[in-house]
Structure 1
């Protein structure tokens, strides 16, 4: 493992010094004149063009004391974000003195993924004898702090063996790497905010703590009015959901009028975009600032859409490949020509707008919908090079790097037969390239949605149409044929009489206290009847007889899901999505692919690229250390949606490593920062997730939902449920005679007892 693209060294390489250490140990370089200091370097490590540095003058909005408060406020918010990262690791109770053994993450991925090239290969743990089926479906096995799994309350028979043979980096080393990467981003943001200039003098008489002295005019009197400002009141409503998820940080900037607080948030958005990326950290920072300034989330989301549309218009008609190819043949300095072409393309759009391109002026960049604004010059200063460089804009949206996804697929043709990104809104082509959407549909935030099974090709996109237009949404098409086979197999089993009878039998077994062991009763009370049946292997014989219908398609699809997760991780690491944060949503085996993706990102130390993750009905471990590793690469929300009544998931997962729990059947305990959402009341079967994606996202407070589409999906589910009830009623009305039922029970009992009698006869024969 070498150094990642973000500049964070892996554990087997020397770590780069922090910004503070670099400043203390390295003499000042003349690069300050060119803007190439380490803190100014973009996250992808490329050299910035030698463009003149723009002056960021916000005198029209802030006073000198307000600017000082803003710098302090941003520092406090980022410090709170850092403490939250530390708290996630500390909540597991893991520290160097408590656990002397080291924790490996890559070795706990499925066996068929460990041969992928990751630089220096890590030592594998000693193999234990397992069946071929268990090898294909083995889940990541992570040693617990004790031999008791906190998720199940059951002793883990493999914990001691893992503690003795585990190798790899300590969990504390992962924590240090996360903090190192975060501090580099934090230092860049602090420097950019500190560069803001305020030339407006304080009002006569002075102000103290944003309140005017007696006899002095208030700081926001008419003489300090912004461009376009009027005397009419500007009000915004509070957002209780945003305040609950992102607790406010105290600041005296809250005393500013509502319109100026909204304009300040807009200015900070432009300032963060000027860093030539809009990472997950930047988005979380703005959410915290909006909560602290009592600005509703919808205003920030609408502002992001407006700015994204304006910037994408600049790069609409530019085709840099043709221009660059001609110049490469004529000159040796292709890099300088690339910068010149981009700057010329941007300069052609400037006109007489005072430094802001015409599409940005048309989009109202630098102003808010209320009419007040900063002016074109101030807005251009906030955006920096992004205000005129079309190549930089194309880079942030992933327009010019989209072909890397198609090239990447060639490396995985042996493992992945079908992989592509299908735009859900505003598509201009269905192929394996991200970014092929209409300019008006480009956004600063991208959502990748991964389904779990298919009953038709339309199911690739249809579950995700409930997501609104504030994000750039893509449905991941992967392994079409295996998913269609699995979907048909699941549908066949669900409609069978054997499944209906088995489900009733499981409920009867776990609902009678006198008919189950003590351990099963404890597990049932805490995790539901499905997990109890899974742990005790209490599956009806009739159900096991038809298991061959779904076991093979499920096992094949699970292996393909793991490999799809590896490809998805490479797509994110290579920034095919551009310099934007990624949100991942999936259900069933799609959630499994996301789980593998996050584990690989954690192993490769790729931080700050994933914003939010929602996994529904996840067939993967609920061990807290696994989720701590995943949370290290998720800057925002990490949501586990589970149902204790998902009988189908429990049956399909019965051959896997259940001693580490099942996230799709129970909550993830023992770690903070993971949201557990129990949907047992809505999800009584695994196949319901396909119809309830929008309803579940709405339930967890997702910010961008098409409520009309959610209602349509719920209506479609109601039709399916009605057909199921009619089928069950018809089957019950045609129930066999009591004599036939009794004979079937005797045959089933004989089938269960006969192997025991056979083993007893063989044992007696050996003794003789």
Structure 2
């Protein structure tokens, strides 16, 4: 078997004993792209360097000396104190005293973090995360080495990995990037989060670099999964090769369509199944007479590639420039098994929307993944190698389950998570009534005189608002508890591979962000790694405890984004009865955890209810990789309209209260009107 694999490796891009090369007669392969030993070594070294960089960043999550961005610390200081202090205006003695106080605080904070990461649970989490990563990395390095060089060479490069980050030339940027503003933002975020690693391969022609990226994607799929770490590796490879995320995304779409089209034909073709069985039983005979090409396919795919090749996988995927034989060889067993393809896509994408999901309704009412459809796409065309799940935190109506997430672009197969409709609609009704009331208008004017944090810590809430609190507190409490349970159920669904073997991106606002937070905590507790690529939480009503966010960071392979607004007085009010010892993630940055991106969206989100209309503008700001250009302008317009509408409603309420002679600082009449309005809305819904 080893000799067959060596022949296959030679044919598909490796070298034989005397260094001679055999070219794939059916088109390009890594043999023709990587023409010299130096070229082949450059690719294996690059893969080793990238995975080493990924491992170091995972270790940084548990390093108490890694405290994240200094800008985040300054932002938190300004938000907490209301203003920053200019040390230059102090006397030498006062300045020295202030500096000494800061140093003592930093020393105490370091001791706290060291104790935090030294706890038994955190040590175990770190060990499990690194064990999973190392197992994945070994499989990747060896798989690439089998095709490009040899196992021995690949292992050597892996052990000697010492990544050197490249300095992108500002005048050239990344090739393949459009010139519009959105692409510039995405490229900037891409290079910042996944900085290019120095490699000689970047000097190759663009066509060759695209073929290298395409080939590595197929090799990763041959591991019979496409987990979150594999996807992050490809993003690093993309920037290192000077390509754009759009190139990778388009390639992923073509590969998904090719695999599913070929698998569909094979499943429908009984003759194909018969030939697959014949190949399996006659494997030894074929290995003796098939020659180099046949040996390569049989050695790598177990004799199953030929049937699926006949169904067209090589032809479909070879359209990007890679030869059909090389394509099937790189895909390995996946090229010859409709069952494996089905497993990759979660039974061809149906698992997330099938009756299998009904088992979860025992714990959470109406738990379901709702597909976000794109007009004109067939069922196969809608499939992707990646999944995105958007989660709304409160609802105006049932359509709000899906509407905020239509901004997610076509690079991912998109779903909206629907859960506890009644509870979220009741919360939405209460929120809308509260923020458009005269009582809230007065309360906000009083709170803004101080800071939101002063109001939180000292309980400086106007009497009118406290009298109206029962209108919002009960629906918030109920929905908050349901979100907790929904997060646990979502984690269970992901662990059970409802999404197949594909990476998941989670995006949510308000209690939708709480669902994501709880889900990730559950994944950490259950040591479930490689499932989630990105997690984007907007206005999260959760603790900002560094210990909790360290757990979150450990189970997300790509980006963890905390979008917050210090202007979110509604969230502060809703959180007032909870423990604020560790802060609130939706109100200020999460500190002291390396790898958490904190984004201040206070200029976009003047209040908690505006998050629903701010999803696209926020995703645009953070450089979210997949966003629908058409939806950005529409949502920006709706955000402005909603802000204007709420302000007009507040003014109308104030005017009505004054005409009736009601003192809105007490707001008795206003509270009664609010109660009646909420009751009417809930009845109509």
Instruction: Give the TM-score category using the shorter length.
Output: 0.7 to 0.9
Asked if residue 637 in structure 1 is aligned to residue 637 in structure 2, the reply is no
Q: Aligned residue for 2:134?
A: 183
Q: What displacement does 1:273 show?
A: 1.1
Which of the residues 371, 386, 390 maps onto 1:423? 371
1:746/1:416 CA distance change after superposition, 3 Å: closer
Q: 1:476 aligns with which of 385, 401, 417?
A: 417
Q: Helix, strand or coil: the match of 1:306?
A: helix
Shift in alpha-carbon separation, 1:197–1:716, aligned structure 2, 3 A: closer
Distance 1:702 1:616, change over 3 A: same
**Structure 2 residue 8 is the aligned partner of structure 1 residue 86:** no
Name the CA distance, whole Å, in 1 between partners of 2:391 and 2:366.
Answer: 13
Q: Deviations over 1:706-753 (max 9, x none)?
A: 122121122223222232333334445556389975996999xxxxxx
Mind listing any 5+ residue stretches in structure 2 that lack a counterpart?
Answer: 14-29, 68-100, 151-173, 179-186, 272-280, 282-300, 670-685
Shift of 1:505: 1.3
Contact 1:59 1:198 in 2 (8 A): no
| Closer/same/farther in 2, CA of residues 65 and 33 from structure 1, 3 Å limit | closer
Alpha-carbon deviation of 1:319? Answer: 6.0
Q: Distance in 2 between matches of 1:317 and 1:366?
A: 17
Which residue of structure 2 aligns with residue 206 of structure 1? none
1:73 corresponding residue in structure 2: 46
Q: Secondary structure of the equivalent of 2:594?
A: coil
* Residue 312 of structure 2 corresponds to residue 358 of structure 1: yes
Q: Tell whether the 8 Å contact from 2:232 to 2:557 is kept in structure 1 after alignment.
A: yes
Tell me how far 1:475 sits from its aligned partner.
Answer: 0.3
1:89-125 deviations in whole A, cap 9, x for unaligned? 114679xxxxxxxxxxxxxxxxxxxxxxxxxxxxxxx
Which deviates the most, 462-471 or 380-389? 380-389
Considering only aligned residues, what root-mean-square deviation do their CA atoms show, in Å? Answer: 3.8
Counting only pairs closer than 5 Å after superposition, residues 355-754 of structure 1 correspond to structure 2 as: 357-362=311-316, 365-368=317-320, 373-399=321-347, 402-403=350-351, 409=357, 411-426=359-374, 438-508=379-449, 510=450, 529-733=451-655, 736=658, 741=663
- Aligned twin of 1:170: 121
* From 6, 27, 31, the counterpart of 1:59: 31
Cα drift, residue 407 of structure 1? 6.4
> C-alpha distance in 2, partners of 1:661/1:744?
29
Unaligned runs of 5+ in 1: 1-30, 36-51, 95-147, 200-233, 324-332, 334-341, 352-356, 429-435, 511-528, 748-768
Whole-angstrom distance in 2 between the partners of 1:69 and 1:390: 34
Q: Please state whether the residue corresponding to 1:422 is helix, strand or coil.
A: strand
2:439 and 2:3 map into 1 onto residues whose CA distance is 76
Distance 2:223 2:388 in 1: 22
Query: In the TM superposition, what is the alpha-carbon distance from 1:261 to its structure 2 partner?
Result: 1.2
Distance in 1 separating the partners of 2:665 and 2:128: 65
- State the aligned residue count: 555
Counting only pairs closer than 5 Å after superposition, residues 9-48 of structure 1 correspond to structure 2 as none
Q: State the SS of the aligned residue for 2:62.
A: helix
Question: What is the distance in 2 between the residues matched to 1:555 and 1:743?
Answer: 26
**Equivalent residue of 1:547, what SS?**
helix
Q: Is the contact between residue 249 and residue 292 of structure 1 (CA under 8 Å) also seen in structure 2? A: yes
1:53 to partner: Cα distance: 9.1
Matched with 2:254 is 306
Query: Closer, same or farther in 2 for the Cα pair 1:34/1:184, shift >3 Å?
Result: farther
Evaluate the alpha carbon distance shift between residue 613 and residue 359 of structure 1 in structure 2; reply closer, same or farther with a 3 A threshold. same
1:549: how far off?
A: 0.9
Aligned partners of 1:263 and 1:367 also within 8 Å: no
Change (3 A) 1:249 1:643: same
CA deviation digits over 1:14-47, x for unaligned, max 9?
xxxxxxxxxxxxxxxxx86899xxxxxxxxxxxx
Kindly provide the CA deviation profile for residues 300-326 of structure 1, in whole angstroms up to 9, marking residues without a partner as x: 111111111111112336669x99xxx
Question: Residues of 1 paired with 2:574 and 2:667: CA distance?
Answer: 25
**Aligned partners of 1:744, 1:91: CA distance in 2, in Å?**
48
- Per the alignment, do residues 235 and 737 of structure 1 end up closer, same or farther by CA in structure 2, a change over 3 Å counting? closer
Check 1:476–1:491 CA distance in 2 against 1; reply closer, same or farther (3 A cut).
same
Q: Report the TM-score, using the length of structure 2 for normalisation.
A: 0.74
> Shift of residue 469 of structure 1?
0.9
CA contact (8 A) 2:389 2:416 kept: yes
Which position in structure 2 is the counterpart of 1:431? Answer: none
Structure 1 window deviating more from structure 2 (410-419 vs 582-591): it is 410-419
In structure 2, the CA distance between the partners of 1:731 and 1:455, relative to structure 1 (3 Å rule), is: closer
Higher helix share: 2
**How far apart, CA to CA, are the structure 2 residues paired with 1:745 and 1:396?**
58
Tell whether the 8 Å contact from 1:615 to 1:641 is kept in structure 2 after alignment. yes
User: How many angstroms does 1:240 deviate by?
Assistant: 4.1
Q: SS at 1:441's partner residue? A: coil
Q: Considering only CA atoms, is the larger Rg found in Structure 1 or Structure 2?
A: 1
With 591-600 and 723-732 compared, the bigger mean Cα shift is at 723-732
Question: What is the CA deviation profile of residues 625-648 of structure 1, one whole-angstrom value per residue up to 9, with x for unaligned ones?
Answer: 110111000000000000001111
Does the aligned pair in 1 maintain the 2:565–2:588 contact within 8 Å?
yes
Whole-Å Cα distance in 2 between the matches of residues 302 and 173 of structure 1? 39
CA distance in 1, matches of 2:564, 2:578: 18
Q: 1:567 to 1:318 in 2, by over 3 A?
A: farther
CA distance in 2, matches of 1:487, 1:555: 13
C-alpha displacement at 1:413, in angstroms?
A: 3.9
**TM-score normalized by structure 1?**
0.66
1:169 is displaced (CA, Å) by 3.5
Rounded Cα–Cα distance in structure 1 between residues aligned with 2:477 and 2:564: 21
Relative distance call for 1:343 and 1:255 in structure 2 (3 A) is: closer
CA distance in 2, matches of 1:34, 1:178: 35
> What is the Cα deviation at residue 263 of structure 1?
1.3
CA contact (8 A) 2:654 2:664 kept: no
Conserved in 1, the CA contact under 8 Å of 2:436 and 2:653?
no
Give the direction of change, closer, same or farther, for the CA distance of 1:423–1:582 in structure 2 (3 Å limit). Answer: same
- Is the Cα–Cα contact under 8 Å of residues 564 and 585 in structure 2 kept in the other structure? yes
Partner of 2:289: none
Whether the 8 Å contact between 1:67 and 1:198 is mirrored in structure 2 is yes
- Provide the C-alpha distance between the structure 1 equivalents of 2:399 and 2:305, rounded to a whole number of angstroms: 41
1:671 counterpart SS class: coil
